[in-house]
Amino acid sequence: MIEQALALCIGFVSSIAGAYLGIGGGIIIVPALVMLLGIQMHSAVAVSLATIVSTSTLVTMRNLKKGIINFDMGIKLELTTALFAILAGFFAIHVNQALLKAIFGAFLLLFAIFMYLKPEPKAVESDSGAFSYYDEFLAKRVSYDVKHPTAAVIISSFAGFLSGMLGIGGGIVKVPILNGICGIPMKVASATSSMMVGITAASASLIYLKYGYQKPTLVLFTSIGAIAGSGVGLFFSKKTRNETVKLVFVLMLVAVGVEMIIKAVK
Amino acid sequence: MRVLIYVLAFGFYSSLGIMAAGIFLHLPSLTHAGLIVLFSTPIAFVFVLCVIEFMAGRVQKALVAFLLFLILLVNLIFQ
């Protein structure tokens, strides 16, 4: 009973981060499952991926109603990220993992600096941009353009390759590309990333299901927790500025980047 | 876009229902089926998105979505 209650809480907390920042939440779920419930690493990753699918599905349902997702860039980036992440699986065993972690950590820190320095696109009430969405915090329609789509697709393939090798980095790679390189407002970037991480996690989850690592009881309870948590995350997102969401994301990028480099050095 | 919401809602809530029934009735195959429904939901979402784009006459976007669907499907079959 305690196990189920803890799974419910883990699903709740991770889906708040997932809905607010557009990340999968694996950074929270995997250590929580291993430390609090004492389950094996492979099973923790399997339950984490399944919870990400649940969170992504719930968040995407709500974001679809708001019309905040940029499908055009989402599908293009997902195409290259997924393709190169799958290809990476064939090379993963032949490459020095410590070196890869260091490269990935440095890559995240660079993204953090780039995102912090790059100003958020200004809210424009007219429909001058190619895309637009209704910002509930500003209570007006925000119009924006997508910049450097080709560069974003090339970088996302590289990022997909790295994340596929290390088995991480859904949203943590996609949000900086969408916001930092394409100039997409932070809330749209996190909503689009939320949709994308669900697609990536679903294909990876099937592998773990095949090898019997999934724990359906835990998945059920983390998913029930995600129903409430995703609502809370989207409520916070509605009540905050794009700049605040971006700052929280930059801090998280720095933390994960530093952690990666420390792990590589050790 | 309403169709996409229905696809996601149906996939998610039905998978939870099937999983819960499987756990309650001690039927592992039913629980397994619930998980498969959950993991197939995003793939079905991409397919429906592809159909919507094609019906709207945005052939290029539909092709990109279809390519993504194919990659996911091939990955699913090979796994």
Beta strands in chain A (DSSP E): 131-135, 140-144
- Phi, psi for B16 (deg, rounded to 5): -65, -40
A146 contact partners, CB below 8 Å, separation of at least 6: A70, A72, A73, A130, A131, A182, A183, A184
Which domain does A96 fall in, by range? 2-265
Residue B43's nearest CA partner among B68, B17, B61, B13 is: B68
| Cα gap B37→B13, rounded to integer Å | 10
pLDDT > 90: percent of chain B: 58
Taking the alpha carbons at both ends of chain A, their separation in whole angstroms is 38
Q: Diameter of chain A by CA atoms?
A: 55
Interface contact flag, A199 B42, Cβ < 8 Å: yes
Residue A53's nearest CA partner among B40, B23, B29, B65 is: B40
pLDDT per position as a tens digit, B59-71:
988 999 999 899 8
Among A78, A207, A216, the residue with its CB nearest the CB of B79 is A207
SS3 of A241, please?
coil
H or E, element range at A225 = helix A216-239
pLDDT per position as a tens digit, A46-96:
888 888 888 889 889 988 888 888 888 888 888 888 788 777 766 766 777
Cα distances from A179 to residues A27, A70, A97, A120, B76, in angstroms, run 21, 12, 28, 8, 30
Q: Scan residues 56-95 of A and list those with Cβ closer than 8 Å to B.
A: 56-58, 60-61, 64-65, 67, 71-72, 75-76, 78-79, 82-83, 86
Mutation pick from A51, A56, A57 vs chain B, by most beta carbons of B within 10 Å, is: A57
Q: Is the pLDDT of residue A232 over 90?
A: no
pLDDT per position as a tens digit, B16-53:
999 999 998 989 899 999 999 998 899 999 999 999 99
Taking a C-beta distance cutoff of 8 angstroms, is the pair A20, A237 a contact? yes
pLDDT per position as a tens digit, A95-140:
777 777 788 788 888 888 877 887 766 555 555 667 777 777 777 7
ipTM of the complex: 0.93
Give yes or no for B37 touching A (CB within 8 A).
no
Taking a C-beta distance cutoff of 8 angstroms, is the pair A255, A41 a contact? no
Which domain does B35 fall in, by range? 2-78
A55: distance to nearest CA of chain B, Å? 10
| Cα gap A77→B68, rounded to integer Å | 10
What is the per-residue pLDDT for A128?
61
Among B5, B11, B40, the residue with its CB nearest the CB of A65 is B5
One-letter amino acid for residue A179 of the chain = N
Total domains in the fold of chain B: 1
Give yes or no for B79 touching A (CB within 8 A).
yes
Mutation pick from A75, A156, A221, A227 vs chain B, by most beta carbons of B within 10 Å, is: A75
Total domains in the fold of chain A: 1
Taking a C-beta distance cutoff of 8 angstroms, is the pair A159, A170 a contact? no
